[in-house]
Structures are given as C-alpha cells and as structure tokens.
Amino acid sequence: MGVGGLTTFIARHADQYLENFELHDTYLVIDGNSIACQLYNWYSKCNCAFGGDYDVYARCVENLFDELLMCNVTPLVLLDGGYEDKKIKTCLKRIRDKIIAASAYTPSRQRSRKFFPLFLSEVFNDIMQEKGIQYAQCLFEADDNIAAVARVLGCPVLSFDSDFYVYDVLYIPFDTLHHNVVKSSTNNGYVKRCKLYKAERLLATFNGLDRTMLPLAATLLGNDYIKRCVFRDFLRHLKLSKSISKKTTVQQSRINAVFNWCKTHNLNSAITMILSRVPKYHRKRVLNAIENMVNSYTSISSHMLLHLGFTNEFVTEMVAKNLKKPFKYQEDIDNLMTDIAEEVSSLTVSSASSEDSESNDEDEDIEDVEDRQEEIEYNVKRSLLNIAPEWFVDEFSKVQFSSYFVDILYRQLYLCPPQIEDYAYPSSHEISLKIIRIIYTLLTSNACNKSLEYIVRGTTKKICYCKLEPVKQLWSCDVPTLHDLHKLPLNIRKGILGEALEISQEWPVNDLPMEWRLYILTLIYWAQQQNAPPKTRCHVYTLLFAMLFNIIDQKLGYYRSLKKFDKKFRKRIDSIIAEKKSVTCQTNNNPESTSLLEAYNNVTNEDCLLAASFFISNFKVDHKVLSMPKIFNITLVHVFAQFQSCLRHSMHLNALLDYPYARTKVAQVYNGTLLYNLYNNFVRRKDVPAYINLILQNSPSLRLVFNALLTTVSPIFDNFLENKVMGGKKRKNRIKQKNETMKHSQENIDNEIPGKSYQFYDANNHFSLLGDAI
C-alpha cells in the first residue's frame, strides 16, 4: 500500500513530526517485505547485473538482526502473502517497469539503480530461521496485521511504508535507522539510534484533528485500494493553497489541505460531505469501501500473534484489552445534501492548481472500487479452506511455502518475476515450465480442472499471457490430492520430485552432502534442457567449482576484501608456505580413492587459507566491464538466470512435498559475480578440470572435494563434460588455439598456483597468483 507523497511530506518537516529515539529492550514488529528490499537498496552493495550476490546480501541481513539482538530487541517479522485483487493491476505495472529496466541493465547502472535478484526473499527468510527470529506470513498484504500486532504489544513498527503514518502506531521509518549500534547512555547495554513517529505530533500540528480521521484522510489521498479519482468531485471543491512552489508539489499541497479539512469534522460529518459529492447509485459502494478502509486501519487481529509464538491466553487477554467496535456510518445515504459546494469552498482558498491536480489521475470508474483487505482476506481464507487443507494454510503461515502459492490456488495465476537476461532469447523462466506445471498440478489437484495462466516476458519488452495445463499422472500414478500430499511416503515424494527434474531413481544422490543434493539435481535438469542459448561444460564446471566458496567461508569466516584477508592471515599463510617448503608432502591425487562425503568432511583450514585469495579476487567486478558496457556478456547472465529459475521452482516444489531433500540455502552456493568471472576465465582454457586442479594444487583437501564431486556427477552427464572443443570453431582457429595453449602451458603452471608464495590473485590478471613452486 502507501499514501502517495506522505513520506515526503513528513520528511520535509522531520523535526516537527519525528523525534530522536534509542531502540532497545522492546519488541519490534518488522514489515518483512519492505525491510528485505530496503536492506538490499541501502546496504548490501551487491552487483545486481550478474543475477544476485546472495552471500553478500545474507551478510547484510545477518548484521541487522545481530544488532537488534545485541540491543535486546525482539524482532517479530510479518511477511506479505498472495496478491489481493485490487493489487493485480499495480503488480502488472511493476512487472512491466522491471522488464523495461532489465532490458538495458548494465553493471555501470547498478550504482544508481538496484534490481532485486530472484532469491531475495528466500535468503532473507533463511537468515531469520538461522537466527531464531519469530516470523510469519499473512495470506495477503501484511500491513493491517503488522499494525494490529504493534498496537497489542505497544511497540514500534520498522518499515518504509507511508501507511504507518496513518495507522496510529509507533513507527520507525527505515531510512532513519542508524547502521550501527552504540553504547547506551543510561545503562550497560547497546542501542540503535533512529527517529520515531507518533501520531500525536501530527495531530498537534493540525490543531483539532482527531486520530479517528487519519484513515479517512489516507482514503481521500488515495492508495492501492481506492484511487484518488474516486473522490474527484469532492477534491475539486477542496481548494488548494496558492503558494505552490517548485519545492511543494500539488500532492504536498493536497495533503496539507486534506488534513486541514479533516480537523474541522468528525467521521460521520466528513463522510456525509464526501458522499454528497458522489452520485446516488454509487454511494453504497463507496461507503462500503470507506468503512472497510477505516476499520482496516484500526482493526485488531489475533491469529498472527499465535503464529508469532504467543500463547492463546496472552492473545485472548491482549485482544480483549485493545478491541474496538468497528466504525459504522450512521446517516441515511439516500437523503444527503446534494449541494454543499459553498460550505466546502469556504474552508480553503481557491487556486487554479486544484483543477490541474487531477490531470494525471486515471479515468477510473467508481464501480471499480473494491472492498478493503479485511473482508477480502476473510472471504478468500474461507474459499481457500474449501479447496486447501488446514495443514497447507498453517504451513503457509509458517513461511514454508512461497507467497505465489495462494495466487495459484485461488486465481490459477502465476506472475513470473523478471530477471536480468538477454532479450534476444525467450524468458529465462521458460526452462522451468515443466516444474511449474507439476507445482500447479499438485496445488489444484482437488480444486479445479482449469489451466494455469502465467504472465511472463514475451519476445519483446511486453508481458505475455500464457496457459499451462496440469499433468494427468505423476510417477506413473494418479495425481495425489493436496489434502493427502503430506501423507505420502518419502520414496513417493522423492519420485515426484525426480520426475519433475527428469532424474533417474538409480542415480546415487546419497553420495552427495545433504545440503548439496537438490542443488546438484537441479543443475543436472538445467544442463539437460535444450532451451537456447546452449549450455556448455564451462557453465557446468563454473557452477560446480563455485560451490567451494562456502566451504572456505565456513572454515575461515566471511572475507570479500583481499586487504582485510591479508591483514588477518598473512603471517599464518607465510608460516604454512614455509612449512610446506621444508616438508615433502605425499598427497592423494586420485579422487577415486576418496568418497565425496569423506572429502567434504575433511577439508582443512590450511588448504582453505591457501585457496581463498583466488575466490576473494573473483568476487569483484572487472573495471573494464564497468567502464565499457558493450563487453558485458548478457548472454552468459541469461544462461545462469535460467539456472536460477530452475532452482527457484525446484526448491518450491521440494517445500510443497515436505522436503524430501534438505533445504538449499542459496547464499551458501550462489554468487552471480563469482560465476561471471569464473566462466570468463574457464572458457579460455582447453582443459578446465586440469586448470582447476592447478589452482588447487596447494589445497589438496579442496582439490579432492572438487574431483570427487566431478566423479560423482559426470556419469549422469554422459559425454557432456568430455574435454573437447565446442562446435562452431573453424579448423584454423582450433590449430591456433592448440598452439597458443601449448606455448603458454608451462607459463600457466608456473603462475597460477595459489600458495606458491604469498601474492594475492588479481581478478584482472589471471597469471598473477604466486611465485616459486613449492
């Protein structure tokens, strides 16, 4: 939601409406979707153009929750669910805007404009789970529930949504929250400094304004549920100030005028004047919308408190204390005054700008007004319970399922989220349609026989409306109903997921570490699809090799700066190098003699130290890519965007099937910048596995992990990973490449072994690694 211009209005008078506040020792209700996005925008410093630096973003989310916990703040996070009917138009517009933005996105543009990656919400949720944060997902938009929980607990809300200036709750705008914690001036603890909004300050400014009028003011100013043009006739007579300057927009003047008008009325008298400007045959519909809006801003909901871990006794007691009688208009709408222009006009000064103020409004008919969220959510929940079992709704509230599951169940609609990709090819989500089809089949198996409408980028920059039919059988059996899905034996649930990913049941998935299994299965599915652009063995090697970075992070901690890494570990690395020079080490170079699980569990800190510089350097963007947009390889990004789409939907299907495979934590295995740099390095190599073994020569335990992983997955790829020159090269070029490779092979060996001497690897010079051989 959000009231247009209200955040700017408050910010321009911050000293008047906001007070300094030290956040500590309290509950804090967090608008999860808003804060997840704002953390990415303000603090993450991710490279958006390469599809998602999820490890970097995860670190940013961790820092926020660590700081809150350090201040003895108990976060309670509420997340949005499916789209409400009235929000569909807004969401489609946002998708169109994102498609246009993505069509010309380059690394240089990410400095000024962020683009949210596909797994932003999954990473945010993973960190909350790791930190033990209490969080829950609403069926639809969470704002009303966020405000209700904050009222019951008497604690602040953290968000970046102007609606919370109207909800009459303690509100901390995210942009006022200081990045770090400081020592408390009153005790031995810590605090986070910020600005706190209280409705009392707004009411005091507009002397006589009652807090019950705030929701009506927001309704008149317009939001996602009621467009301002519904009240066009009324607002036309609400004259604005003449003193509109360049710094004061028409909307800012309108906000001031609406608050000034509201302070002279109570709810009943104000609604009487508003409805008098609405045609008789539309009054009932508009009144219903106003009543629902007003009540939604003041309602107290109990069920989300239960999902946040509070006891039934506590919830019953607190709701009883805060319960308010819903507002109901008291007048007869058929016998209202019809000519009150003189009364309205007498309140304000006329201005020619008031007529122009509606010029940008859509010509939307009043009949398009929808009832507010409370009634919609109640009706849809009742409908959902008729088509979805109680266990599903409960698991959805616990954020086990993605929010779009409600859209699929209730509307048979799926909005494919845009990604940075090559518009010369079809949408990156096309590769996942087989998986999406099975998700849809399972969700609606006992509800309807309709086709799924999915909305995706077409071959141009426009959105495309497509249909997808459910499957008739799964794993050679009848499709199980959603009611019985959670009762299926593990082998059947694995079988359904295996069929979706086109993986043979004989494949030795148990040879993989548990947290890698779904990721590798998805990688195999992605590699075997024939969607353009073609995938090569270099893409596969890149994804496999990049998985090692999390092993290094787990052993050494999180480092993305060579300077900080050098400062921390230089002496220790020098000592390891000296020891290796003085001792002849016999290492096992045969990956077949060590299982992947054994190798994975026996990686040493020393080996991670010697390999870390190579990875850390590849987390940075080549300055040439930033300064020369034409060399940005958008097709490469598209190939990895296809993989992300496959992973997204296989993860969500895995969740729907109650996790036959362990959760994949994307932040531990995927960094878009790293993948981009590694691929551009690998694609120049004739023998990529040999090159990787060269890089890991002085980190034998990590080398064993990679080779064992390659040995495990190679059979499923048949000949795909064979060391051969890819098609499309002329014989002359192949001969030239062979001669150049032979010419520089010894130079490569001498210059690309991490740990030979302590010299950091330069991402812009792949022959800068180390000096003398050990």
Domains of the chain: 1-205 (3.40.50.1010), 375-487 (no CATH), 509-751 (no CATH)
Residue with tokens 């200081």: 178
Residue 480 CA, chain-centre distance (Å), reads 31
Provide the sign of the torsion angle of the four alpha carbons 304, 306, 309, 311, taken in this order: positive
Is 31 within 8 Å of 146 (Cβ atoms)?
yes
- CB-based contacts of 31, cutoff 8 Å, min separation 6: 78, 142, 143, 146, 157, 158, 159, 160, 161, 164
Q: What are phi and psi of 614, to 5 degrees?
A: -60, -45
Give dist(CA 679, CA 525) in Å, integer.
20
Q: Record the tokens describing residue 165, joined without a space.
A: 């200036």
Alpha helices in 388-536 (DSSP H): 390-397, 404-411, 433-443, 490-500, 517-528
The DSSP symbol for 482 reads G
Please, which residues bridge with residue 22 across strands? 193
The bridge status of strand 190-197 relative to strand 182-183 is antiparallel
Structure tokens at 732: 């002359």
What is d(CA 616, CA 473) in angstroms, rounded to the nearest whole number?
Answer: 47
Find where tokens 């963007």 sit. Answer: 621
**Beta strand 157-159 with 134-137: parallel, antiparallel or unpaired?**
unpaired
Eight-class DSSP state of 502: T
Q: Is 213 in contact with 203 (CB distance < 8 Å)? A: no
Distance CA 687, CA 676 (A): 18
- What does the alpha-carbon distance between residue 349 and residue 256 come to, in Å, rounded to a whole number? 13
Strand, helix or coil at 546? Answer: helix
User: pTM for the complete prediction?
Assistant: 0.88
Rounded-to-10 torsion of CA 304, 308, 314, 315: 0
Beta bridge partners of 158: 30, 172
Phi first, then psi: give them for residue 287, nearest 5 degrees: -60, -45
C-alpha 653: how far from chain center: 18
Classify each residue of 466-496 as buried b or exposed e, where b means 16 or more C-beta atoms within 10 Å of its C-beta.
Answer: bebebbeebbeeebbebeebeebeeebbbbb
Task: Kindly state the helix (H) or strand (E) to which residue 101 belongs, with its residue range.
Answer: helix 88-103
Cβ proximity of 381 and 139 under 8 Å? yes
| Residue given tokens 């920059």 in the structure block | 461
* φ, ψ for residue 78, nearest 5 deg: -115, 135
CB neighbour class for 505 (10 Å; exposed up to 12, middle 13-18, buried from 19): exposed
CB 413 within 8 A of CB 436: no
By the 8 A CB rule, do 673 and 619 touch? yes
Helices 390-397, 373-387: axis angle to 10 degrees equals: 130
Residue 396 contacts residue 406 (beta carbons within 8 Å)? yes
Coil/strand/helix, residue 171: strand
Q: What is the pLDDT of residue 240?
A: 62
Task: List, in sequence order, the alpha helices (H) in 562-716.
Answer: 562-582, 596-601, 605-617, 623-627, 634-656, 672-682, 688-695, 700-713
| Segment (H or E) for 415 | strand 413-415
**Distances 234 to 113, 405, 484, 539 between C-alpha atoms, Å:** 38, 40, 54, 61
Residues in the chain: 774
CB 158 within 8 A of CB 29: yes
Residues whose CB is less than 8 angstroms from the CB of residue 365 and which lie 6 or more positions away in sequence, other chains included? none
Q: Count helices and strands (H / E) in the chain.
A: 34, 13
3 state SS of 414: strand
Longest CA span, the chain: 100
Strands (E), 313-401: none
Taking the chain (774 residues) in runs of 10, the rounded mean pLDDT of each run is 83 92 97 97 94 97 97 97 85 94 91 93 98 95 92 95 92 95 88 96 90 88 71 73 61 87 89 85 85 80 85 85 80 66 40 38 44 52 75 94 94 96 96 97 82 92 94 84 92 93 84 96 94 94 97 96 95 91 59 82 96 96 90 97 98 97 97 98 95 95 96 81 47 42 40 47 42 36
